[in-house]
Amino acid sequence: MIRRFLQYSLRHQRPIKAVWTQGEDIVSRNLTVVEIGQDSFFYLSARNKKTPLELPIQDLLSCCYARGDSGDTLKNMEKEQENK
């Protein structure tokens, strides 16, 4: 299920809410996926909008839609077409 949220973010360029481990800490952040590899992915966040950061997929604990996003891909497609 986590990989599907990563693909959703990549395909629609929409932020998702992700929770992962960083050392002994648990981090929660909204992020937008820019590339998915075999074992890791690259993302941009509100704190870092220019340089993509890499995160191992195995470190992810959970993913969900970001606040305000219902995940309705039909609405997203309409908005994407309007922006083009």
- Percentage of the chain beyond pLDDT 70 is 86
Does residue 81 have a pLDDT over 80? no
Prediction pTM value = 0.82
Does residue 42 have a pLDDT over 90? yes
Q: Tell me the pLDDT band of 16, cut-offs 50, 70 and 90.
A: very high
Residues 51-80: pLDDT tens digits?
999 999 999 999 999 988 877 766 656 666
Extended strands (E) in the chain = 16-22, 25-36, 40-45, 53-56, 60-65
Residue tagged 């219902």 (tokens): 70
Q: CA 76, CA 60: separation in Å to the nearest integer?
A: 25
- Percentage of the chain beyond pLDDT 90 is 70
